[in-house]
Structure 1
Amino acid sequence: VKDYGDDSDFYHEVTSLDCLAWQDIDGERDPQCLPLGGLSTWASLPGPPDPVKPKVFLTAAIDSATLFHDQVPAASDVAATLAAILGAADLLGRSPYVADLPSQIVVALFQGEQWGYIGSRRFIHDLLSFECENLVDASESSKDGGGGSLCLNPMYPSLAFQQLGSSSAVQHVLAVDQVALVSDDGQANLFVHPTMGGGDLADKLIIAADSVDAVTVAKAFQPEDPDDPDTADPALPPSPLTSFVSHMPKQVSGAVLAGYDRHFLNARYHTQYDIIEMVDLEYVRGISEFLAYAMFAAAGGDVSGGLGAELDNELVADLLECLTQNLTCSTVDSYLSQEEANLSERAGVDITLIDHPDPNEVASGAEVGERKNMRQGGQPNYYSGVFGIGPNGQPVMARRGGESPGLYARFDDKWNAETDYMYAVSSPLEGFLRAFLADKFTQESKTQRGDTPTECKTSSDCGPCEDSNSDDIGNMECVYGGQCACRVSFHHVALDPGIQATEVPNKFDVIDQSSPIFTEPNWRYLGAKLYPYSGKSIELISLLLGICITVLSAGGSYILQQMLIKKKLL
């Protein structure tokens, strides 16, 4: 417990701005909280991002909330949505027709959306106005010259997002929310909530639904805005689309695809009771197939002839089980093993994103330690958590040797590829999402090559990417299965745009006080001592001994008092 002296009103008067700038009694910076956030994930298909092609975004939140932050199962909210999106990504990645689409598909999964749309606001802010004050060119970022461009101030390990193009390149945005809710008629009834300019996208979604038997799609009820019905966007459900609509300089063609119309239907939404029993696997499979068809149609494809591939039903079932019950499942574990190998090489030290117990030990009830986005025993927890060093997503530069060795969250000096390493450690969930999309979005490109794909253990075993037009992307990377593939999947900082990192990790400056900044206090564990129960005999002896001591003390006091009185000392 920390003593704040006369600041008895600390807990109800200090704001996020105050606790981030908190100073100790010596006037030294001593923040008492960390901002919420982490790492968002985005990936492009086909191939690395092409700034010339229009972009069609499929977006969703990867975090949720409940009254208790350590119990956020979010099965029908986040987990089922992610399982459906990842299943659709696998199907699209195997489609031979995607390469001929006039638009590029981008899957963007944002962290911190429950807290002022942190991930999506930062992503769009960087798309529109990112400025790097200390750029490291791709030719200088690594020893072999193939590491891709990076920025030291602010600290960004990848600048691939700059290849997504300007705001005019955003053609459509489809956000997905609570699609696992099932109606009484045995079908997954989905509702499209379009923006003012999203009529064309809504029509494409409804047409795509004709190709999937288990799903029906209809336009949601849209009340007119009494103030300005001709220009104002209709009321939209909370989703990453809100950030696109609010911050893009042009009218956005977008829609929210949801399992509800005018109001939420899930009574367990944002509670610790939103568990796997709320989700039906068959509906998630149907939604996953529909999302693949919907994105194919939104990108300009003709869905009447199919996608040339079928949904992997077993994969969707496996994903749903992992994302609702066990983030240490074999699927997640396999992807994270490769992610750890690549990250450890980039960081210059061994990094583990998850404990890797023996499968037999897990089956017998072995304990798995807590991590961000994961509770004890490997159970998923979809609270976003804080943004900082370690598995909390803050990018850092480690200088090992040379001049000014140390760990930096912002750096204004010159980069040295011989001694400097830049990396960001993700949570198990964030790492899995990036690794999964990196593999699935390069499936078709790997099979189309005339030669056998290069085998690898880490990304240093891979050469240049022939499909990339930018040095920002860098060389190929080693993906799941030990094969080299072009980089198509990336992390992006999910930190409120109103906050910037200082040179010291875990310390931040507020640069926009009007921004809705959310933080979490630095919790401290209270000490406690436990004593073993010694039995009733010890209790009886202690009681009798106490009585005897009390009697002897009283008797001795009486005798002493009489002696003092007799000697007239009292």
Structure 2
Amino acid sequence: MESVPDLQKSMYMVVDGYPCVRLVNLSGEIGCSNPGRDKVVAPIIKYKNNKELGLPSAILLSMDDVQGFFSRYVLPITMRTGESCSNTELVLRKHLNVKDHIQRISNDSSFASNVAGVLVESRVEIQHKLKGFSPARKFPQAEFAPYHNTTYEWNPIGSGFMWKSYNFPVFLLSESSTSTLEEIAMKNEKTEKAYTTNVAEFDVVMQTTKVGTHDSESCLKEETCLPLGGYRWLDQRGESYAALDFYASICEFYVWSAVPPINNSSSNQSKPIILTVASMDAASFFRDKSLGADSPISGLISLLAAVDALSHVDGLDNLNKQLVFLVFTGEAWGYLGSRRFLLELDQQSDAVRGLNSSLIQLVMEIGSTGKGFSQGNKTFFAHTQVSSDTNEALDALKLAQESLKSEGVTVSNASSSNPGIPPSSLMAFLRKNSSTSGIVLEDFDTVFANKFYHSHLDDSANINSSAIVAAASLVARTLYVLASDKKDSTSSALSSINANASLVEELISCLLDCDPGLSCELVSSYITSVDTCPSHYVGVVLGEPSSTPSPNQVDDISRFVWNFLADRTSTPKGNTTVCSKDCSNNGGVCIRAETNGKGICVNSTTRYVPAYSTRLKLDSGTWKVLPPNSSDPMGMLDPVWTESNWNTIGLRVYTVQEAAYDRLVLLGGISVTVLAYLAIVLTRAYITKALKQD
């Protein structure tokens, strides 16, 4: 041992994992936290469903048991001070979809009182064993639906437990940590009566818990939380303690781009607009394990591949309609991105300069597309809001399908028994204007095909790249038909529009895997990434939101999407391609600036827009919750989601001695000391007596 850190490393084992954190809205809390201000330390035991807990324990839980475990433990949902029970119930029914009653006590109180923390195992083969796992609700974000039947089950496998509050820490272990913790739990079980035991130490102390701010209005006022939306916290690992440090922020914007580029200097902006929409944020019970491969990243990849396919088509400047591509973030948390976009349109802000809401003819949303593959066929479903423009879009879809018949691509109208469109960004548009024409392209008809919706198991193994390629080709050809008014499915121009399968494969490996992850060649050609492993959690907002951020304020994925769209929707800017001050002054944008130091100036209408609640305003550095506005029905439903602040989040394991053994050692030491003292006294007396006799 050469130093104190070396001693610490020998005593404490740092455990890799992904935490569940505390989220707060206007009516209460969800997620996980240590119960107080201190770290939680408890012995590690393997969960057994039929076994009661005799003392506070850190429970090692397999994925097979997660559903049953959390059904045994339901903590009370916090009421705001001064609210009556009936008012709280009303708020929770609106925001948290609690239908029967407020569960205020544990389903198994003796068991629950001894749950000190939970460690969830990770295994590669678990997806093949489980029939499904979704901690989301059966109708995600039902309160925003533009129809009355909100009891419909789009996600029948959903348990909804990620929308409850847990007063103990929960970690998802990495695969390597799972094996280690299993060995430790088995060792504890075999040496149950030994004088030493192995314990887990959880450092998941949330500021909202420490200060007692249990709703978003109070925690924003006391600055113990930050709004979900446009900004995302970086995670940093300490040298001697694996911890997430609450130290720096990078903004995660939504991005929009136009084909052809919009000439803002022209007063004649009269082309009808076709919006093509996808989302890039995912949700999960575990904050930093939010991949969302099928829902929604497969749709994002389909959109990017469709834009790439259209970029190779000649004559896009002569299209009869304006194509606009939107990639939203914050959609999993009250449709933050789409609602912010609609507000910016109403205010005609610089972020959406060149767009006019009255010219929007159609909203075409690309939802989940990664599971639209079965027995060699690629099957998709069009969920629609019926109107004349929607019928025109359906005709274009059918025409595109006909042109792809040899590829085994089929598109069907969604079942008429559905209550309406599935959970999607289009809901925000319809709640704003019920006459909006729109289509949501999905890989399911009546219920989600994704059995791991809003789960950490919705990863690259849960999707099929061929389905994503087919969806991209289908969307690209449909948009071309709609924008060009060419109705011939056999035309050479239409048949030449094909998604690049290699690009789709690369996007999957870049956006959904750690190897190569964001260090892949495609991403590296546009940006210098900060992280390698992608995460699609929306993050939090810090500071004044801006539509013209500097690159170091924007997260990796948003910067990549912006650069990719700006590149694929651009035309060269004059005779020079090297970026200069004149580039932005003359309406151009600078792409690849991070990779070659200078960048390339192109003519493109591609912009960042920060996404956050329409009921929030930054006033003198403090976030204020605005009163509900009756003219904004979705704003009145807005839960105003925030995430609790924290100092560090960490998990480590070490060995401790039983207190009884320590007391026994102390008693033994005292006894030895007393006996030694008596022996000395007696020996001295004996020697003294013997000397006197001599």
Q: TM-score normalised by the shorter chain: which range applies?
A: 0.5 to 0.7
Deviation, structure 1 residue 262 = 1.0
Deviation, structure 1 residue 209 = 1.5
1:266 and 2:450 are equivalent in the alignment: yes
**Which structure exhibits the higher relative contact order, with contacts defined as CA atoms closer than 8 Å and separated by 6 or more residues?**
1
1:317 and 2:438 are equivalent in the alignment: no
Deviation, structure 1 residue 554 = 6.7
1:246-277 Cα shifts (integer Å, max 9, x gaps): 113x6111111101111112211211111212
1:313-354 Cα shifts (integer Å, max 9, x gaps): 3222211211111122121122114xxxxxxxxxxxxxxxx3
Q: Distance in 2 between matches of 1:462 and 1:172?
A: 32
Q: SS at the partner of 2:519?
A: coil
TM-score, with length taken from structure 1: 0.67
Q: Which has the higher strand share?
A: 2
Structure-1 residue corresponding to 2:576: 454
Structure-2 residue corresponding to 1:383: 537
Structure-2 residue corresponding to 1:241: 426
Equivalent positions of 1:245-260 (< 5 A) are 245-248=430-433, 251-260=435-444
Q: Any unmatched runs of 5+ in structure 2? A: 1-33, 39-78, 82-207, 231-252, 629-635, 682-694
CA contact (8 A) 2:400 2:477 kept: yes
Compared CA separation, residues 527 and 543, structure 1 to 2 (3 A): farther
Equivalent positions of 1:152-551 (< 5 A) are 159-165=350-356, 167-197=357-387, 198-212=390-404, 213-223=407-417, 235-248=420-433, 251-302=435-486, 304=489, 305=491, 306-307=493-494, 308=496, 310-325=498-513, 326-337=517-528, 354-355=529-530, 378-389=532-543, 394-395=545-546, 425-442=553-570, 445-446=571-572, 453-456=575-578, 458-460=579-581, 462=583, 465=586, 474-479=587-592, 482-504=599-621, 507-513=622-628, 514=636, 515-525=638-648, 547-551=668-672
Structure-1 residue corresponding to 2:673: 552
Compared CA separation, residues 423 and 476, structure 1 to 2 (3 A): closer
Equivalent position amino acid for 1:41 in 2:
V
Structure-1 residue corresponding to 2:218: 18
Q: Distance in 1 between matches of 2:414 and 2:521?
A: 39
Q: Distance in 2 between matches of 1:214 and 1:192?
A: 17
Structure-1 residue corresponding to 2:336: 118
Compared CA separation, residues 502 and 478, structure 1 to 2 (3 A): same
1:180-215 Cα shifts (integer Å, max 9, x gaps): 113433222110011132222222212212122242
1:380-439 Cα shifts (integer Å, max 9, x gaps): 2111111225xxx94399xxxxxxxxxxxxxxxxxxxxxxx9778111111110111000
Q: SS at the partner of 1:194?
A: strand
Compared CA separation, residues 476 and 521, structure 1 to 2 (3 A): closer
- RMSD between aligned alpha carbons? 3.6
1:52-75 Cα shifts (integer Å, max 9, x gaps): 221101101111112112211211
Match of 1:88 among 278, 288, 306: 306
CA contact (8 A) 2:351 2:608 kept: no
Q: Distance in 1 between matches of 2:80 and 2:440?
A: 45
Equivalent position amino acid for 2:312 in 1:
R
Deviation, structure 1 residue 84 = 1.4
CA contact (8 A) 1:44 1:105 kept: yes
CA contact (8 A) 2:295 2:450 kept: no
Deviation, structure 1 residue 464 = 5.4
Compared CA separation, residues 525 and 215, structure 1 to 2 (3 A): same
Compared CA separation, residues 532 and 223, structure 1 to 2 (3 A): closer
Deviation, structure 1 residue 503 = 3.1
Structure-2 residue corresponding to 1:568: none
TM-score, with length taken from structure 2: 0.56
Structure-1 residue corresponding to 2:318: 100
1:445-491 Cα shifts (integer Å, max 9, x gaps): 33xx8x7x4132x45263754xxxxxxxx444345784321231111
Compared CA separation, residues 380 and 528, structure 1 to 2 (3 A): closer
CA contact (8 A) 1:464 1:476 kept: no
Deviation, structure 1 residue 312 = 2.7
1:65 and 2:178 are equivalent in the alignment: no
CA contact (8 A) 1:459 1:478 kept: no
1:343-385 Cα shifts (integer Å, max 9, x gaps): xxxxxxxxxxx33xxxxxxxxxxxxx5xxxxxxxx22211111
Structure-1 residue corresponding to 2:259: 45
Compared CA separation, residues 70 and 46, structure 1 to 2 (3 A): same
Q: Distance in 1 between matches of 2:339 and 2:581?
A: 33
